[in-house]
Amino acid sequence: MLVNNVGGYWDTRQVTADGIERTLAVNHLAPFLLTELLLARLKRSAYARVVTVASQAHAQGWIDFDDIQGERSYSGAGAYSQSKLANILFTHELARRQPRVTANAVHPGVVSTAFGAEDPGRTQRLLVPLLRPFMKSPAKGAATSIYATTAPELVGATGGYLANSKARRSAPLSYNQDLASRLWRVSEDLVRAD
């Protein structure tokens, strides 16, 4: 089993050493590449599962292939939402391409972590301290990921989205198969770029 649990938020646009916008690279391309690199091994397993931690923020996301790296227009919230929509599109496409691998996306809830602390914008500095008492503990935030990786009833239940350890509907755009297929191809190109 593989749990892709990564999340970064940057108010200001940053690029990796490879020249890729950081939110896209960390939140989407890293899990995409790791899954791709481990796929042959996963497929040899009797009960292969890939769980990708997304976010309800995906519902505000869209994929602008003409500016997927935010070179013309960037906002931290927009980049984050796009990356989390990409996580769910990736999960749906993985489920379609690899029917022997159970692939699901999960929303952990709003969890009390150091998320966003590396580039603290207004939201991080002002809202997070006020909201922290209402956030889930990291242990409670992990519960849905644990459920998705261990629940016997999810064997073969693939391409889903879970929150609070229950199946949920993700945003309508996340079910666009053409968008998912195109994102997969673009992601392959980006992770293979020199």
Closest CA to 174 of 87, 78, 47: 87
Q: Which two tokens stand for residue 12?
A: 């200001």
Cβ–Cβ < 8 Å for 183, 90:
yes
Residue with tokens 């599109």: 89
Closest CA to 103 of 56, 57, 36: 36
Q: Which two tokens stand for residue 114?
A: 């150091």
Q: Which two tokens stand for residue 189?
A: 């190109």
Catalytic site includes residue 161: no
Strands 160-163, 166-168: pairing is antiparallel
Query: What residue type is assigned to position 112 of the chain?
Result: S
Q: Which two tokens stand for residue 22?
A: 């950081």
Q: From the candidates 80, 147, 161, 175, give the one annotated as an active-site residue.
A: 80
List, by residue number, the catalytic residues.
80
